Amino acid sequence: MSEPAPQSAPHLVVALAYDRLCTFEFGCVTELFALERPELDVAWYRFAVCAAERGPLRAAGGVTVSAPYTLAMLDRAQTIVIPGWRDADERPPEALLRKLRAAYARGARLCSICSGVFVLAAAGVLDGKRVTTHWRYADKLQQRYPQLQVEADALYIDEGQVLTSAGSAAGIDMLLHLVRRDHGGAVANRVAQRLVVPPHREGGQAQFVPRPMPRAESSPLARLMDWVRANPRLEHSVASLAARAAMSPRTLQRQFLDATGMGPYEWVVRERVSVARDLLEARPTLSMERVAELAGFGSEESLRRHFRRIALTSPAAYREQFARGARRRSAG
Segment 81-130, tens digit of pLDDT: 999 999 999 999 999 999 999 999 999 999 999 999 999 999 999 999 99
Angle at alpha carbon of residue 24, lines to 142 and 260, rounded to 5°: 65
Segment 67-94, tens digit of pLDDT: 999 999 999 999 999 999 999 999 999 9
Cis peptide bond N-terminal to 214, omega within 30? no
Task: Provide the 8-state DSSP code for 137.
Answer: G
**Coil, helix or strand at residue 224:** helix
Domains of the chain listed by start with CATH number: 12-195 (3.40.50.880), 212-332 (1.10.10.60)
- In the structure, what pLDDT confidence band is assigned to residue 57 with cuts at 50, 70 and 90? very high
What is the Cα–Cα distance from 180 to 189, expressed in whole angstroms? 8
**Coil, helix or strand at residue 11:** coil
Give the distance, in angstroms, between the CA of residue 69 and the centroid of all CA atoms in the same chain.
26
CB distance 221 to 251 below 8 Å? no
CB distance 185 to 282 below 8 Å? yes
Q: List b or e across 133-158, with b for residues whose CB sees 16 or more CB atoms inside 10 angstroms.
A: bbeebbeebbeebeebebbbebbbbb
Segment 226-268, tens digit of pLDDT: 899 889 999 999 999 999 999 999 999 998 888 887 899 999 9
pLDDT at 56: 84
The mean-pLDDT minimum among 69-73, 140-144, 200-204 falls in 200-204
Segment 2-50, tens digit of pLDDT: 444 444 578 999 999 999 999 999 999 999 999 989 888 899 999 999 9
Segment 285-328, tens digit of pLDDT: 899 999 999 999 999 999 999 998 887 788 998 888 776 655 55
- Phi/psi at 215 (nearest 5 deg)? -120, -30
